[in-house]
Amino acid sequence: MKYKIIKQKTNNYFEDFLGARRETILRLQSLYRGDYFEDKEKARKREEMYGQEMERLQKYFNTKNGGNVLDIGCGTGGFLSLFSDQWQKYGIDISEFAKKEAQKKGIATDFKLEDNFFDLIIFRGTIQHLPDPISRIEKCYYWLKPGGGVVFLATPNANSICYKLFNTLPMLDGKYNFFIPSDIVLKQVLANFGFKIKGLEYPYINTPYASPMNDMLDFILKLLRIKKAAVFPFYKNMMEVYAEKQ
């Protein structure tokens, strides 16, 4: 498959792709080395979740005809691999290790971003990690073709009972996060840039992460401050938002 790849020659490589100065990106890269991706149990659950997420994505956007898809924060390319060969797959990631692994899966990671080029842009567990998340969303509007879609998967939701009670979400590690969105804020930001909201999902019960009885127990123990460091998923802690460029 031929990709439209143009190597980025400007001095603004990091700013253009990730919206931060080179110095900031180099500091953040130290958090995403190879060992970040090595937890096999997390990888197993994540891959199972990919399948569920793709099924929901297909409710909102037609993935059968192919096109150009961009995954911002693509990791090693696992989610993009679920797209058929009719798709030209592009990924952006801060980790050099992840980019090399994604390239082995046929994903382009060295290219110039252009307006009106992508049919679908995905943020999977990514928007909270970006130094300038609002600007990235605005740029996506122009990178997308008319009618193209932007999708937020595995995204933390500040409009949840856990966040309101604990001022954080139990599964988040603060050093990776700049911005914890809510479904209300994210919908408003998207609408302000000209997107039409197509749907919201709050996956929990049937996900590989859920253990409702244990999660409820951990919630109660954390609420009572008996188990302050409890890490558990909970309903509405995570969200998916699907929007279309008008």
Amino acid in the structure at residue 173? D
For the 13-157+178-210+238-245 domain, the top CATH level (class) is: alpha beta
The Cα–Cα gap between 21 and 9 comes to 16
Which DSSP symbol is given to 67?
Answer: E
Mean pLDDT of the chain: 91
Look at residue 32 and give its three-state secondary structure.
Answer: coil
Q: With pLDDT > 70 as the criterion, what percentage of the chain qualifies?
A: 92
Q: Which two tokens stand for residue 76?
A: 């090693």
Give residue 20's pLDDT band: very low, low, confident or very high (50, 70, 90): confident
Q: 61: which DSSP letter? A: S
Determine phi and psi for 87, rounding to 5 degrees.
Answer: -95, 140
Distance CA 183, CA 12 (A): 32
What's the average model confidence in pLDDT over 194-212?
97
| Overall size of the chain counted in residues | 246
pLDDT category of residue 217 using cuts at 50, 70 and 90: very high
Q: The dihedral of CA 221, 224, 228, 231: what is its sign?
A: positive
Percent of the chain whose pLDDT exceeds 90: 76
pTM of this prediction exceeds 0.75 = yes
Look-up of token digits 């592009």: 90
CB 130 within 8 A of CB 156: no
